[in-house]
Structure 1
Amino acid sequence: MSEGGTEVQDRARATRKVLLESAAHLFVERGYAGTSVNDISDHSGKTSGAIYFHYSSKEKLALAVVRERFATWPQLAAPYAAPGVPPLEKLIVLSFGVARSLSEDVVARAGVRLWAERRGIEATVPTPFGVWVLAATRLLAQARRRGELAEGVEPSATAVTLVCAFFGHCTLTDELPGGHAWGERLDQWWLLMLKSLQRDADPAALLARARARIPVGREDPAPSRT
């Protein structure tokens, strides 16, 4: 491809990024119905024509926001694939990555709000739950093969329960007193869950080992507010 063609593609990617992030900020603050294309244009500094050129409608832009973080979860890849890490530790590390995004990443937060408002959007809004459940099921199945799960813990059914509980926990945490300390609340959640999941339950030790795998300074950051 020519140098000029590369520059055009780079500009297009940069424009889409600005539009996506501006739309996400507004969707978090005002919701889908309360945000117009003109609002996004004003916030982003781009024309409405640019918005329609790249996304064709507000619905398409909203779907792009959901897919960018909330429905595809690129954060799942690294912890899930890490070699030599016990599966229950992987599951905990994975949960902290997702919870961190839900707390501080405006695009992820917008995805949550848009999914909650999906009945008011004239398009099918994707959800992340199939991806989450599949990842959790596989990790729990690995843990069962290693003899680490408590008797009667069935991976697929347990994964659904964990994902539902985890999402509800993350969604409500910011609304509770002290909600910004999401890492501490997630610690408490895992201590409770692991008592039922582990065969030889030692939740504090397992949580400490998993926490040690999270990069320093990334385990409980103060979430940015829009």
Structure 2
Amino acid sequence: MQERAETTRKAVLVAAARLFEEYGYAGTSISDVARSSGYTSGALYFHFGSKEDLARSVVEAHFAHWPPVIAGCLRRKGTALERLVLLSFEVAREFRDNLLVRAGNRLWNERQAISTELPLPFVGWIATVGDVLTEARDAGELNPALDVPRTARTVIAAFFGTHTVSDALCRRADVEDAVADMWRLLLPAMRVDGDTEGCLARGRELAALVG
């Protein structure tokens, strides 16, 4: 019985994510999700309680997706900055290819229309990048003149700005090239040895292995 309930919940969540990603929060109703999922509105309310709860669950699934992705990337071989480059490409691909990630992102951007509290974005990403930059600094890889917390915030602002522009212009079709261009601007200021293209190439090679 519990397994069946979990299967129903996951199917409803995926159907809701597909509609939220395409039509947004205001453009999606519980009856729309019921029709798309093949379950009754009553079944939806049993699992989620309200449209707000359903939207929050999609956003929470978005946030829950990242810890294993981050862990998988950061335990790869390579220097700290190479693994940071790797992580950026893997995250960009997830935003491009993963329905729940895209839906959660759109819903968070529409948060003012949703009458429920949603998780706070970016803070975890800034902390993760800060940890990697600290590792790079301790290894002598990072420019010692850089302030790690401020640099981490700047990297995250640059990354999410890059993928937002790519989404607006071409639905992220060029996001990997756009992320590479971002690193060509940031890495010369970050690395001690100035080997921008080498670091970028090695990070992309690691990303190709993950992909």
Which residue identity lines up with residue 190 of structure 1 in the other structure? Answer: W
Cα deviations by residue, 1:43-83 (Å, 9 ceiling, x for unpaired): 11111111111111111111111111246513112112x16
Write the distance in 1 (CA, Å) between the matches of 2:102 and 2:76: 30
Return the TM-score normalized by structure 1: 0.87
Q: Is the 8 A contact 2:163 2:172 kept in 1?
A: no
8 Å contact 1:91–1:139 — kept in the other structure?
A: yes
Distance 2:209 2:131 in 1: 27
Aligned residue-pair number: 210
Mapped to 1, the partners of 2:171 and 2:71 lie a distance apart of: 30
Which residue is equivalent to 1:14? Answer: 7
Distance 2:120 2:162 in 1: 17
Partner of 2:21: 28
TM-score by length of 2: 0.93
Q: Which runs of 4+ in 1 moved over 3 A?
A: none
Which of the residues 123, 126, 140 maps onto 2:116?
123
Conserved 8 A contact 1:73-1:128: no
Match of 2:141 among 148, 159, 164: 148
C-alpha contact (below 8 Å) 1:23/1:40 kept by paired residues: yes
Structure 2: unaligned runs, 5 residues or longer: none
Pairwise mapping of residues 1-226 of structure 1 onto structure 2 (< 5 A)?
8-70=1-63, 73-74=66-67, 75-80=69-74, 82=75, 84-176=77-169, 179-216=172-209, 218=211
The residue identity in structure 2 corresponding to 1:209 is: R
Report if aligned partners of 1:71, 1:126 keep a CA contact under 8 Å in 2: no
Distance 1:211 1:100, change over 3 A: same
